[in-house]
Homo-oligomer: A and B are copies of this chain.
Amino acid sequence: MIFASDNWTGASPQVAEALLVAAGGYAPAYGGDPLSADVAAAMSRLFEREVSVSFVGTGTAANALALAHVARPAGVIFCHSTAHIAADEAGAPEFLSGGGRLHGITGAKGKLTPEMLEAAIGLYPPEAVFHGQPASVSISQLTEAGTAYSADEVSAIAVVAKAAGLPLHMDGARFANAVVGLGVTPADITWRAGVDMLSFGGSKNGCFAAEAVIFFDPEKAKGFDFQRKRAGHVFSKSRFIAAQFAAYLARDHWLDLARHANDMARLLADGIEAAREARLALSPDGNEVFAFLSRDADQRLKSAGALYYPWPASGLGVGEAGEGEVLVRLVTSFRTAPNEIDQFVGLID
């Protein structure tokens, strides 16, 4: 019953096997290897256009370096107040962007709305040097509330961003879960909806450590290698990130992994919905279930060894815990077994 986070899992057997195979022999360093080229081609096929693919070590690096790449002096990055970049990256976006500022917006269900975004941008009129200047917009897919933006929602945000001349970044740490959950194509939910840069995460969904920044307009990636290099994110044996991604993308493996995780989340949500001692905070769009548990149930589950985190409701936009309740986050993964769900649900009345 491990629902602490999807990064508690190891790697999928296919990914692990691919790495083992790649361990032999020689290959040019620093991305000059054939596997890296293969992954770039696979990503371009996946997104139905030529894209630029840059590997980095972590999701934090992917987010922060992408945002650094479009930074402006005194620049302001607009995001949800609970966004990973705002709450969980220890200032990496601020640091790597040379002192940028995050402007957090508190929207319901972990989402920005176009109206909120427009109002926030309006606080930084171009003629005033005092407040800083808008630099970019970042949304998370899945959001930190486990919800997914529909293609229409993304488009509406992109319209506001574009009108202000701002690039739109998507933090796709759980991009696979969002794509599966929404039933859309990767292209439809990204560049066709106006996304300029995507942090494409593999680590949470079956890779060891595989993250990439995708630029949908390869021209815009110019100079990004220097962003990566000066932050120590150009790997000499870059082909080992490539090997993971190659196996991850092959034959829709990444979607299969995410589908399983999402199915498990659905199962878990159904169980919670049916229980008296628990209620869903919101319906999951991916592999994260936010639920209010009675303190009794919470205690019982923990005693039985269930691992998960209580979660601050503040800013998430999922409602508040009632008397005697605690908000928790339950994350499923490609590895979650149905019997883990059964056991968990069985412990709640």
A residues apposed to B, CB below 8 Å: 2, 4-5, 7-13, 15-17, 19-20, 22-30, 56-62, 64-65, 68-69, 72-76, 87-92, 94-102, 129-133, 203-204, 208-209, 223, 225-237, 240, 335
Q: Which residues of B contact A95 (CB under 8 A)?
A: 73-74, 98-99, 230-231
Residue picked from A8, A22, A96, most chain B C-beta under 10 Å = A8
- Please, how many angstroms separate the alpha-carbon atoms of A227 and B72 in the complex? 9
Report yes or no: B5 in contact with A29, Cβ–Cβ below 8 A: yes
Q: Decide: A204 near B94, CB < 8 A? Known: A129-B229, A130-B88, A223-B73.
A: no
Number of copies: 4
23 A-B residue pairs with Cβ-Cβ distance under 8 Å, sorted by A, are A4-B29, A8-B29, A11-B237, A20-B20, A30-B129, A56-B232, A57-B58, A57-B232, A68-B73, A73-B230, A74-B227, A90-B131, A92-B230, A92-B231, A94-B94, A94-B101, A94-B230, A95-B230, A99-B99, A132-B226, A133-B226, A209-B235, A209-B236
Q: Decide: A20 near B30, CB < 8 A? Known: A227-B73, A230-B99.
A: no
Q: Which residues of B contact A237 (CB under 8 A)?
A: 7, 10-11, 203, 208-209
- Please, how many angstroms separate the alpha-carbon atoms of A134 and B79 in the complex? 22
Cross-chain contact of A90 among B17, B60, B89, B226 (Cβ < 8 A): B226
Q: Which residues of B contact A57 (CB under 8 A)?
A: 57-58, 209, 232-233, 235
Report yes or no: A23 in contact with B131, Cβ–Cβ below 8 A: no
Report yes or no: B129 in contact with A90, Cβ–Cβ below 8 A: yes
Residue picked from A15, A68, A230, most chain B C-beta under 10 Å = A230
Report yes or no: B29 in contact with A10, Cβ–Cβ below 8 A: no
- Please, how many angstroms separate the alpha-carbon atoms of A225 and B223 in the complex? 24
Q: Decide: A204 near B91, CB < 8 A? Known: A19-B19, A23-B11, A229-B74.
A: no
Q: Which residues of B contact A58 (CB under 8 A)?
A: 57, 232-236
Across the two chains, which residue of chain B brings its CB closest to A8?
A: B26
Cross-chain contact of A28 among B8, B203, B223 (Cβ < 8 A): B8
Cross-chain contact of A64 among B16, B131, B132, B232 (Cβ < 8 A): B232
